[in-house]
Structure 1
Amino acid sequence: MTESPVLYLTVGLPGAGKTTLARRIAEDEGILRLTPDEWMAPLFRHSDANGRRDILEGRLIWVAHEVLRSGASVILDFGCWSPDERYAIRMVAESVGARFDLRWVTLDEAERRERATTRWRTAPETTFPMTDDDHDQFLALCVPPSPAELSYAAVPAAPGDFESWFAWASDRWPSLPRFDRTSSGGDH
């Protein structure tokens, strides 16, 4: 029996070690790793670039969906600071019969900030400069995974007026098609 593919998702703040962990998993498992910063810097020279990050992330999620559909595993090295983002990505994985593996990466706050700064100084092509105010804002926005998330409890209903997590995800990441369990994942 062939084992189900896995969508690994690294979650945490900049400098916590998400990309290091993602690289290790990708190497150990021989799988594709998708890291938005490695695309944003060469394409746009900015971490947000007028909303382009959301568009890029949507396409990377779509690529991950297609990889999973092919029967291979993949890792999204995204950060995903909100439970809604994590639940939506989990539903993308589960919609094609893949297993979801959330990896929460955390580190002492002073060390995390220093690592982010060191990465900027030593490998600026892989990251972006971050001020203390940026770090404070990131820390305020990041909602750590709950025990229910970490134990893979049932996914709650999609938020607000969204009929599904796929609809929510398509709204959050505009380039992600509104596919469902029966679609091919193509644009429609």
Structure 2
Amino acid sequence: MSQSQHFDSQYEELLPRPPAPSLGAAHGQSGRPPSVPAEARSGPVVAQDPRAATLILTVGLPGAGKTTRAKELAATLPALRLTPDHWMIPLFGDSLAGGKRFVLEGRLISVALQALRLGTSVVLDFGLWGRDERSALRWLAQSAGAGCQVVYLPVDRDVQLARVAHRQATAPHQTFPMSEAELDQWREKFQVPDAAELNGGAIPNPPTGWPGWQEWAVDHWPSCTDS
């Protein structure tokens, strides 16, 4: 498949979908080793207005299986799935491209907020290593009148290394090179979601110096607007 064909197939996912039902059915299909309890991955589904859309945040390191899980959730709910690498690689041939990733993510978040307000659930397949990122998105979903669910996918180091190597060998056009040293550095930086996040608890205040999560989000994801 050519890069343009690959991009076109991902673009089709931007088409509106019907409003999403509750997440209960989707979480019954974990697709993960039984040794990892479901509650450790995503927490119980938070009760909400069944008519409201839901923003699902897939959280995990490279090789954790985020995109596979995001595809499952998007198909089951149904929901719009937004995966940055499926845009960055066809457009720029690189995952970061000199900071362009954060600009792109800002636009994808804007699309997600518009979809939520229209009653369409969204799976945001970003990785979201930082707690502040997740808190900002939980707040933005709430401001859009939607629910939010954090779906965490842990991965052991050896499994991660094997998956990354396999993906690079079999589908290099869908990924980018990642060294073992880089993966170890990223693992140290990753902030594992706590019980409050997984259970839909109270959203903490933004970091000191920021008046609100909206302002933090716009600074972190340039171009993150509702238009």
Whether TM exceeds 0.5 here: the answer is: yes
> 2:161 maps to which residue?
113
Q: Shift in Å at residue 30 of structure 1?
A: 2.2
> 2:17 maps to which residue?
none
TM-score (norm 2): 0.76
> 2:211 maps to which residue?
163
Q: Shift in Å at residue 127 of structure 1?
A: 1.1
- The correspondence for 1:142, drawn from 176, 180, 190, is 190
> 2:199 maps to which residue?
151
> 1:79 maps to which residue?
127
Q: Is the 8 A contact 2:115 2:122 kept in 1?
A: yes
CA distance in 2, matches of 1:79, 1:48: 14
Change (3 A) 1:2 1:11: closer
Aligned length, in residue pairs: 179
AA of the residue aligned to 2:210? F
Q: Shift in Å at residue 151 of structure 1?
A: 1.6
- The correspondence for 2:101, drawn from 50, 53, 56, is 53
Say whether 1:8 aligns with 2:56.
yes
Instruction: Summarize deviations over 1:131-174 as a string: whole Å, max 9, x none.
Output: 01110111011100011211221111111211110100000001
CA distance in 2, matches of 1:149, 1:101: 8
CA distance in 2, matches of 1:116, 1:2: 38
Say whether 1:131 aligns with 2:206.
no
Structure 2 unpaired stretches of 5+ = 1-48
Instruction: Summarize deviations over 1:65-92 as a string: whole Å, max 9, x none.
Output: 0000111101100000000000001111
- The correspondence for 1:69, drawn from 117, 121, 134, is 117
Instruction: Summarize deviations over 1:25-55 as a string: whole Å, max 9, x none.
Output: 0111122100001111101111111000000
CA distance in 2, matches of 1:47, 1:113: 18
- The correspondence for 1:17, drawn from 65, 69, 75, is 65
AA of the residue aligned to 1:142? F
